[in-house]
A and B are shown apart, each in its own frame.
Chain A
Amino acid sequence: MESEFSPILKKYPEGRRENLIPLLQEIQDTRGYIPESAISEVAEYLEMPAVKIFSVATFYNEFRFDPGGRFHIQVCQGIGCQVDGSERVRKEIGRLLGLNPGETSDDGLFSLEWVPCLGVCQEAPVISVNGKFYPKMSAVKIKALIDEIKNPAES
């Protein structure tokens, strides 16, 4: 049976359990998230119960099970950023968008994620929107940034 994920599965012909995580990673690389259909397909391929695959996939921070928003906001949780006030930035984003980490807004525009460290400690606190970095953020700058994303024409 040919399916979207067959080419990825074929890369691991032995179908052993230790290939589970690389498999899921490749699926996420191509699709941006892990759809439910992929889980059942992988389960069949590796001859494992789907629940076990969920149990592994949900354990790790990297895997996500929904496509996320059009604008994916990552807020650095590194200690360097925390010392420079990332908590205020986090709360302000949560308040403005009404989102908790890991959630996507109803209009599908924003999704929010807290990441351990973005690796740009010299410009703390840092956030990234779809991979683009915004240095030295503050609660006030967040408002302006989100307004700009929402209404790009006005800025």
Chain B
Amino acid sequence: MISGVIHEQLRADLLKFLLQEDPGADPELRKKQKILRRERIENAVVLIDTTSPTSIYPLDALKADIEIWEASSGIKVDIVETGSLGLISAGPVVGIQIPGRARLYYGPVQVGDLQGILGAITKQVVPEENLIGQMILGNQQAWEGIPSWEDHPFFKGQERRVMGLCGVVDPCSAADYIAWGGYRAFSKSIRFYTDKELMKLIEESELRGRSGSGFPAAQKWIRTAATVGEKRYVLCNADESDPGGYMHRILIESNPHIILEGVMLAAYIIGANHAIIYTRSRYRMAVRRLQCAINQARALGLIGQDILGSGYTLDIQLRRGPGAFVCGEETALIASLEGKRGMPRTKPPYPATQGLFGKPTLVHNVETLAQVPLIIGQGPEWYKRTGTESSRGTKLFSLSGKISRMGVVEMAFGTTVKQVIEGWGGGIRNGRPFKSVLMGGPSGKFMSDAQLKVPIDFDRFDEAGLVMGSGSLVVLDDESCPVNLMKNMIDFIQQESCGKCIPCRDGSRRIKDIFEMVTSRPAEERSHAALDRFKGITQVNDLATVMQETSLCGLGKTAPNPILSGFELFRQELEEHVFDRTCRAGVCQNLRLFAVDPVACNGCNICYIKCPEKAIIGSPRQVHYIVGELCTGCGKCHEVCKFNAIIVS
């Protein structure tokens, strides 16, 4: 599978898809297309979501289930590994299809469920438990009375463009992608259009970089193309390292070919013959799938010398990023590719004029490049139909934290964060009160209730002083402590700071030390401890501002964002930590104090057994007591108590 071998016959067919003016007009090809799209199938098909979020589930047991059912029923089933529809909290999502009928998606599917579901469906009955909905492909017969998957609350109203084929196609199959119209934009472009004509389309589409700043892409492209040089590079930044975001990972693992096609088109348009995709080494599955996609594209002659007889030559390499958050910055990424420490340098010169090995280089992230095949294939007019005046198209967001439904959503610009959380996210988990959203990970900001109503749009966010980041949304409820999160975010920055410039290197460490003091209770409050804490917290604001203004690269400049926004929003809570030494969310471990509720305690003795500090006194069938001085606030008693008798204060 990883080798990316494509059979001779299939290869010939796929090339026909790419080269013919209208493959739909040829009945022979149309039939093959239907088979490749799985609109028409011979055997029953089970599609299993095999992206990294589902790697935690026993997928092998699911497959074994299917085999057992196959043997007992005598009906043959083909198992297809697909990407993710985006909904990860209902994982693993499984699609089931029998000949002639629409596909049904279920999730979560547990081991043992599948036999029953398969048995019912083959008898033309649809079990409705854990059903997501049906997906009608081509002229399949719909299931009566069964809702469409697009009416499921997680999908309803999503504008699925980049994610369009995710969860529908086999990510390791170029044939799937081509049958759905993939690589046609590229094969047409290189044969019939000049780079100038195509550049015009990019300009007209008003595409903006999706990495956070929203820089107009065409400006970068034109500058790179205009710089004289014998070699140019396209760099695809697939090194998603934001600890709160996983949209790029899901996209790569679900449809690597769309990214590849974006890279190819970008390379052709700016006149580059070399492209490098830089992805995170830890993303094992993403690495495998990208490599497989590259191998297949090479086997089809879409990468290499004289592509499809157009005379254009392109080589694409996959490089594994050895893990450094700062390598998301373009000059640091380039340094890393050159075999150096991934440290950013001053700009200008921008990579557009002096990038990799001093050559003009176009750097974009995965999501931006994945838009390109859509723009070229469907035209800028179509592309601009979605979104707002200043931000065209769609944006991917990953939802995590205390939210009911987690996953990757693709929505049109102009939607509000409130809509994302309450609509697709299904609101706060367990109906708890909402506290805040951290948007953009360690370089993002906490958002207030009012800010949730700002439409998601590069310009509107700028005006409101908000940060979109790469698109991670982490939702906090009343049981999450923003102060603790602020500490952890700056701790992350402190670990990941490259150490080149002082404000970032030392500033982050200082802020972390101060927050460490604020969130933990020293065993004994010695003479200066309180004073240090007060002094520290009064200085944090200045420190953060200096960091913001004087750091060299984006990492240092944006690192104080969670701190500064948190200061504004959670002043009260922060003061409680500093002065009252309490954490109202009960998260900051060393600030929590536990007590036993004498009415609820029935003396089961479990807390006494589990307490690592021997801080609980009591014997069976007697009310227990926690010795405050011994308690370190680890919270184990709270976790094990089945009678809610441990109170946090």
| Residue ranges of A at the interface with B (Cβ–Cβ < 8 Å) | 16-22, 24-25, 55-56, 59-63, 77-80, 82-85, 87-88, 91-92, 95, 115-124, 126, 133, 135, 138-140
Residue contact A88 to B634, C-beta cutoff 8 Å: yes
Residue contact A140 to B636, C-beta cutoff 8 Å: yes
Residue contact A82 to B488, C-beta cutoff 8 Å: yes
> Total interface residues on B, using CB and 8 Å?
58
Q: Which of B575-619 contact A (CB under 8 A)?
A: 587, 589, 610, 612
Residue contact B401 to A79, C-beta cutoff 8 Å: yes
Residue contact A22 to B319, C-beta cutoff 8 Å: yes
Q: Pull 28 A–B residue pairs with CB atoms less than 8 Å apart, ordered by A.
A: A17-B338, A59-B341, A60-B322, A62-B281, A62-B322, A62-B323, A79-B441, A79-B488, A79-B489, A80-B406, A80-B474, A83-B480, A85-B587, A87-B484, A87-B488, A87-B587, A88-B589, A119-B53, A120-B55, A121-B400, A122-B53, A122-B88, A122-B89, A123-B56, A133-B56, A135-B56, A139-B635, A139-B639
Residue contact B243 to A78, C-beta cutoff 8 Å: yes
> A-facing mask of B450-488, CB < 8 A → 1, else 0?
000000000000000000000010111000100011001
Bound CA span A43–B143, Å: 65
Residue of A at shortest CB range from B341?
A: A59
Contacts of B319 in A (CB 8 A): 21-22
Bound CA span A74–B492, Å: 16
Given A17-B338, A62-B281, A82-B485, 15 new contacts (CB under 8 A): A21-B322, A56-B340, A56-B341, A59-B342, A60-B342, A79-B441, A83-B402, A84-B402, A91-B634, A116-B492, A121-B398, A123-B56, A139-B635, A139-B636, A140-B610
Residue contact A121 to B406, C-beta cutoff 8 Å: yes
The verdict on B498 contacting chain A, using a C-beta distance below 8 Å, is yes
Which of A88, A119, A133, A135 lies at the interface centre, i.e. has the most chain B CB atoms within 10 A of its CB? A119
Residue contact A17 to B323, C-beta cutoff 8 Å: no
Q: A21-B339, A56-B339 are known contacts. Are A124 and B400 too (CB-CB below 8 A)?
A: yes
Residue of B at shortest CB range from A121?
A: B400
Q: A92-B634, A124-B400 are known contacts. Are A119 and B322 too (CB-CB below 8 A)?
A: no
Residue contact B634 to A116, C-beta cutoff 8 Å: no
Bound CA span A22–B52, Å: 24
Residue of A at shortest CB range from B89?
A: A122
Q: A88-B589, A120-B52 are known contacts. Are A22 and B474 too (CB-CB below 8 A)?
A: no
Bound CA span A87–B491, Å: 12
Residue contact B337 to A80, C-beta cutoff 8 Å: no
The verdict on B101 contacting chain A, using a C-beta distance below 8 Å, is no
Contacts of A63 in B (CB 8 A): 322
Residue contact A25 to B337, C-beta cutoff 8 Å: no
Q: Which of the residues B244, B339, B342 comes within 8 Å of A78, measured between beta carbons?
A: B244
Bound CA span A133–B56, Å: 6
Contacts of B337 in A (CB 8 A): 18
Residue contact B322 to A116, C-beta cutoff 8 Å: no
Q: Which of B329-356 contact A (CB under 8 A)?
A: 336-342
Contacts of B340 in A (CB 8 A): 17, 56
The verdict on B325 contacting chain A, using a C-beta distance below 8 Å, is yes
Residue contact A121 to B53, C-beta cutoff 8 Å: yes
The verdict on B249 contacting chain A, using a C-beta distance below 8 Å, is yes
Contacts of B630 in A (CB 8 A): none
Nearest CB of chain B from residue A77's CB, rounded to whole Å: 6
Bound CA span A6–B544, Å: 49
Contacts of B402 in A (CB 8 A): 83-84
> A-facing mask of B424-455, CB < 8 A → 1, else 0?
00000000000000100110000000000000
Contacts of B338 in A (CB 8 A): 17-18
Contacts of A56 in B (CB 8 A): 339-341
Bound CA span A22–B407, Å: 32
Nearest CB of chain B from residue A140's CB, rounded to whole Å: 5
Nearest CB of chain A from residue B471's CB, rounded to whole Å: 13
Contacts of B189 in A (CB 8 A): none
Contacts of B636 in A (CB 8 A): 139-140
**3 closest Cβ contacts across the A-B interface?**
A80-B400, A79-B244, A60-B322
Residue of B at shortest CB range from A83?
A: B401
Nearest CB of chain B from residue A57's CB, rounded to whole Å: 8
Contacts of B480 in A (CB 8 A): 83
> A-facing mask of B400-415, CB < 8 A → 1, else 0?
1110001100000000
Nearest CB of chain A from residue B222's CB, rounded to whole Å: 28
Residue contact A140 to B640, C-beta cutoff 8 Å: yes
Q: A59-B342, A77-B492 are known contacts. Are A138 and B400 too (CB-CB below 8 A)?
A: no
Which of B52, B339, B485, B489 lies at the interface centre, i.e. has the most chain A CB atoms within 10 A of its CB? B339
Residue contact B281 to A133, C-beta cutoff 8 Å: no
Bound CA span A44–B565, Å: 50
Residue of B at shortest CB range from A57?
A: B322
Residue contact B241 to A79, C-beta cutoff 8 Å: no
Q: A59-B341, A122-B91, A140-B610 are known contacts. Are A22 and B400 too (CB-CB below 8 A)?
A: no
Contacts of A83 in B (CB 8 A): 400-402, 474-476, 480, 485
Q: Which of the residues B55, B282, B587, B610 comes within 8 Å of A62, measured between beta carbons?
A: B282
Residue contact B244 to A80, C-beta cutoff 8 Å: yes
The verdict on B384 contacting chain A, using a C-beta distance below 8 Å, is no
Bound CA span A18–B639, Å: 51
Which of A22, A83, A133 lies at the interface centre, i.e. has the most chain B CB atoms within 10 A of its CB? A83
Contacts of A123 in B (CB 8 A): 56
The verdict on B246 contacting chain A, using a C-beta distance below 8 Å, is yes
The verdict on B320 contacting chain A, using a C-beta distance below 8 Å, is yes
Residue of A at shortest CB range from B472?
A: A79
Nearest CB of chain A from residue B442's CB, rounded to whole Å: 8
Contacts of B52 in A (CB 8 A): 118-120
Nearest CB of chain B from residue A115's CB, rounded to whole Å: 7
Q: A139-B634, A140-B636 are known contacts. Are A122 and B406 too (CB-CB below 8 A)?
A: yes
> A-facing mask of B65-94, CB < 8 A → 1, else 0?
000000000000000000000001101000
The verdict on B324 contacting chain A, using a C-beta distance below 8 Å, is yes
Q: A80-B474, A82-B488, A87-B488 are known contacts. Are A25 and B339 too (CB-CB below 8 A)?
A: no
Nearest CB of chain A from residue B469's CB, rounded to whole Å: 12
Bound CA span A138–B339, Å: 40
Nearest CB of chain A from residue B90's CB, rounded to whole Å: 8
> A-facing mask of B233-247, CB < 8 A → 1, else 0?
000000001011010
Bound CA span A60–B406, Å: 30
Q: Which of the residues A61, A95, A122 comes within 8 Å of B323, measured between beta carbons?
A: A61
Bound CA span A124–B488, Å: 16
